[in-house]
Amino acid sequence: MTLILRQDEVKGIISMREAVEAVETGLKDWSQNQLLNGLRRRIFAPSGVRTSVHQGAVPASGVTGLLIHCERLNVTSEEQIQDKISLPVGVVYDSEDASLLAVIMGAVAAREIGGRATSLRTAATSAVGTKYLARDDATSIGILGSGVQAKNHLVALTCVRPIRKVKVYSRSPDNRQGFAVSMEQLLGVEVKAAERPEEAVRDSDIVLCATNSSAPVLLGRWLEAGMHVISIVGSDKGLVRAGYHSAKRREVDDETIRRADLIVVNSVEQIKEDEHADIYDTVQAGIRSWNDIHGLPELLNGEVRRTNRAEVTLFKNNAGLGVADVAILAKVYRIAKEKKLGLEVPTTVLPWEDR
């Protein structure tokens, strides 16, 4: 039987902590078998509509599958807005017998905060990276950005570090103040709005860039010893080649890349495929070499790690990982089965001779 789940059944079905734990399980599997995660694939229609497909397998959870999502982009020289987002679809198969376990229609959002199709997975992945990279005693966060991604990330980061103090900056005073009030109430920690981006960064153990910016928001001269930096802006190589945008997006400047003692990205292969400006362009310019850029599997299996308190670490959450999406979808499927949610329909796996 295959379980069909709708948007109203998956919204809030999973907690952020459950998502972070699921993603860590998937990433650990991937760190032992590089074939478990496929490169994200994207196509662009002339209208600016973008379709993304993320494939992955998580043997520890007994699943393989994919997530597909589609949105229309409104691109300017300063930012990239998704002005229309369609219903994402997750497909989950049994990784042992290939049976179709579930079709999940809708954005799987964290119970605490909600969000779009990729908000939960992106935040959970950043949290796992932070768990392995940030100082153990990190208790403060400076945030650049006040949207859905920033909110999801803050909740996720509290799952891996004992956060007590938060400063947030965004271009809109109303937005940053609203973020401070709502997140302080939600998390029970001190959250203050900053008047300038450098004020949010100053004296913070963790610096989170969670923006839709097309130009750097974090300057390397603001960094201090021992900081851990997270950046989530992805590549828009396809938009540039199609003529929608004149230059590739950046979220951190060259000096940030230069000053980082340890750089970890979701996928080095995806960075090269997408020609991601924050990393790819700085390597091409000779600021860093590919030997300086490490993927999440190296971090999860212990090949690289923070070695002292003074190191500046950088986690570039450069692209959605199918293995993370499928790990979350597997958890959603298990929860839905326990709660008897959704509609079960009969399906069959045919033996080869019957095809």
Q: Name the CATH superfamily housing domain 2-115+321-354.
A: ornithine cyclodeaminase, domain 1 (3.30.1780.10)
Q: What is the mean pLDDT of residues 227-249?
A: 72
Where are the CATH 3.30.1780.10 domain residues in the chain? Answer: 2-115+321-354
Q: What is the mean pLDDT of residues 188-198?
A: 98
Residues 118-130: pLDDT tens digits? 789 999 999 999 9
The two three-digit tokens of residue 234, written as one number: 């992805």
Residue 61, helix vs strand vs coil? helix
pLDDT at 45: 86
Longest pairwise C-alpha distance within the chain: 68
Amino acid at 318: N
Q: Long-range contacts of range 267-274, CB-CB < 8 Å, 24 or more positions apart?
A: 267/37, 267/39, 267/295, 267/296, 267/318, 267/319, 267/321, 268/293, 268/294, 268/295, 269/39, 269/295, 270/39, 270/40, 270/318, 270/319, 271/316, 271/318, 273/39, 274/234, 274/235, 274/237, 274/318, 274/319
pLDDT at 241: 61
In the predicted structure, residue 187 carries a pLDDT above the cut 90: yes
pLDDT band per the 50, 70, 90 thresholds, residue 9: very high
Q: What is the mean pLDDT of residues 96-100?
A: 95
Rounded to whole angstroms, how far apart are CA atoms 127 and 161? 9
Tokens 């095809």 map to which residue?
A: 355
pLDDT at 220: 98
pLDDT band per the 50, 70, 90 thresholds, residue 214: confident
Give the domain 125-316 fold: Rossmann fold (3.40.50)
In the predicted structure, residue 353 carries a pLDDT above the cut 70: no
Query: Which has the higher per-residue pLDDT, 233 or 267?
Result: 267
pLDDT at 166: 98
**DSSP H helical ranges for 203-355:** 237-241, 254-259, 268-274, 282-284, 296-300, 322-339
Where are the CATH 3.40.50.720 domain residues in the chain? Answer: 125-316
Query: Which has the higher per-residue pLDDT, 109 or 163?
Result: 163
Rounded to whole angstroms, how far apart are CA atoms 96 and 349? 12
Question: Do residues 230 and 209 lie in contact, with contact meaning Cβ atoms separated by under 8 Å?
Answer: yes
pLDDT at 242: 58
Q: What is the mean pLDDT of residues 166-186?
A: 97
pLDDT at 82: 66
When the pLDDT of each residue in the chain is averaged and rounded to a whole number, the result is 92
Alpha carbons within 13 angstroms on the beta-carbon side of residue 234 total 20
E strand or H helix that includes residue 19: helix 16-32
Question: Do residues 67 and 92 lie in contact, with contact meaning Cβ atoms separated by under 8 Å?
Answer: no
Residues 305-352: pLDDT tens digits? 999 999 999 999 988 899 999 999 999 999 999 999 999 999 876 665
pLDDT at 186: 97
pLDDT at 86: 83
Query: Which has the higher per-residue pLDDT, 44 or 232?
Result: 232
The two three-digit tokens of residue 79, written as one number: 């930012």
pLDDT at 2: 97
* Intra-chain end-to-end CA distance of the chain, in Å: 20
Tell me which range, 66-75, 278-287, 342-351, is most confidently predicted by mean pLDDT.
278-287
Rounded to whole angstroms, how far apart are CA atoms 310 and 59? 37
Rounded to whole angstroms, how far apart are CA atoms 276 and 40? 13
49-58 and 206-209 strand pairing = unpaired
The two three-digit tokens of residue 75, written as one number: 């691109």
Rounded to whole angstroms, how far apart are CA atoms 326 and 320? 11
